Amino acid sequence: MLKKMSVLLIFIMFFGLSPTSYLNSANAAGSLSGFFNGLIGDPISIVKGGTLSFDKSVRVGDAFENYQFITCFKWDSLEDVQKRKIVEFTADINVQKIVEDAALDHKDNDIDMAYGILGFKNFSKNKELISRLENVQGKVLIQFLINADMDGFYIGYHAIEMNINGEKLDFAFGNDNTNIIKSIYQNHRQNITALHPFTLII
């Protein structure tokens, strides 16, 4: 328990947490706004066919659906009590692939010294390490708010939900922290589990 609390405190220091509601963060969308010039009236199509202001080279749907570190995803169209139109993207995180990818980025000696774990070089053949990941699940959740006149959208809320050996950890991000979104756009594992990949199996 002490180790998990220490990891959580380190995470908060580096990334920060925000209130777990899209309404509390909606006014700070900043660089996470998007625009769409296609079908009007279908909120999911508006988001999937749109682009975000920090990278207009790829549509939101293509970036999210082809992100290599998720195993499945779904889009939902919602509406709150004040008639705000919300598009929600959820996806399961491929935790094993993230840990394998992290292992390839490190030399054996570095890993042994820092974490005291052997076998990362042949991670896919290490049954003990892989078995530890069976009790680790992760999910990414991102909510887009559609402009009332249906001419654009922005990200109102995004979070990572981790379940490690039955203990649930939720990490909500303010809109001034775009690390998760940019990791998805760069097709990179960084930040997507919220915790360092190696902490998931030690």
The percent of residues above 90 in pLDDT, for the chain, comes to: 32
The pLDDT tens digits for 176-195 are 777 889 899 999 887 777 66
pLDDT of residue 153: 92
Confidence (pTM): 0.74
The percent of residues above 70 in pLDDT, for the chain, comes to: 60
The number of angstroms, rounded, from the C-alpha of 144 to the middle of its chain's C-alpha atoms is 14
Domain regions of the chain by residue span: 2-200
The model's confidence at residue 131, banded by pLDDT at 50, 70 and 90, is confident
**Are 178 and 196 in contact, with CB atoms under 8 Å apart?**
no
The CA distance from 123 to 164, in Å, is 19
